[in-house]
Amino acid sequence: MLFAISVHEFAHGLVAYRLGDPTPKYQGRLTLDPRAHIDPLGMLMLVIFRFGWAKPVMIDPRYFKRPKQGMILVSVAGPLANFLSAYIFLLAIGIFPTLFSPRVGIVLYQFLLLNLHLNLGLAAFNLIPIPPLDGSKILGGLLPPRYGLKFEQLQGYGPLLLMLLLLTGIISRILSPMIAFLRFLLFSLPHF
């Protein structure tokens, strides 16, 4: 999970930096080192409740030539990085386990498969259009201005709604079709 979170946050920072925002670089977030991305409380929650969070990468869209489009690109970057990581793990599953003894190969296969699923799950979860998740920023950027402003006003309720969905288990009904769709896309790509 540390790898998936680090890739996700690094991608946000890298895209923002490439679009002209130096903030992620100044904060030391242009790294895959998990220590730069871990939120201690979020990590504790992840260990105890299997739901946690990382430190969000601070972004200043005023540095972007087109702030609205820039925020969409930055928001898409995290889930896309997780999807691409899942693809790399899928490719590795086709290559590496066969290079080792059956016992080591099975353990390696399970490790790679777990990482594939964690990255797909994190990508799908972050695409949910509820603040503060990336999906809300993508949707907010795509909405016409007057609806975008109304949607922004709901941001304060997002974490509460998200917790309610998690506590009631409804989140799994939302995530299952999203993960299935991402898995379909993943296995549609060329692989061994």
Cβ atoms of 42 and 79 closer than 8 Å: no
Q: Structure tokens of 1?
A: 């999970």
Burial of 3 (0-12, 13-18, 19+ CB in 10 A): middle
Closest CA to 124 of 182, 186, 192, 64: 182
**Three-class DSSP category at 61:** helix
DSSP assignment string, 100-127: S-HHHHHHHHHHHHHHHHHHHHHHHHHT
Judge whether 152 counts as a catalytic residue: no
Q: Give me the catalytic one of 6, 9, 64, 72.
A: 9
CA 124 – CA 189 distance, rounded (Å): 18
Residue 54 φ then ψ, to 5°:
-105, 170
Q: Indicate the DSSP class of residue 66.
A: S
Residues forming the active site: 9
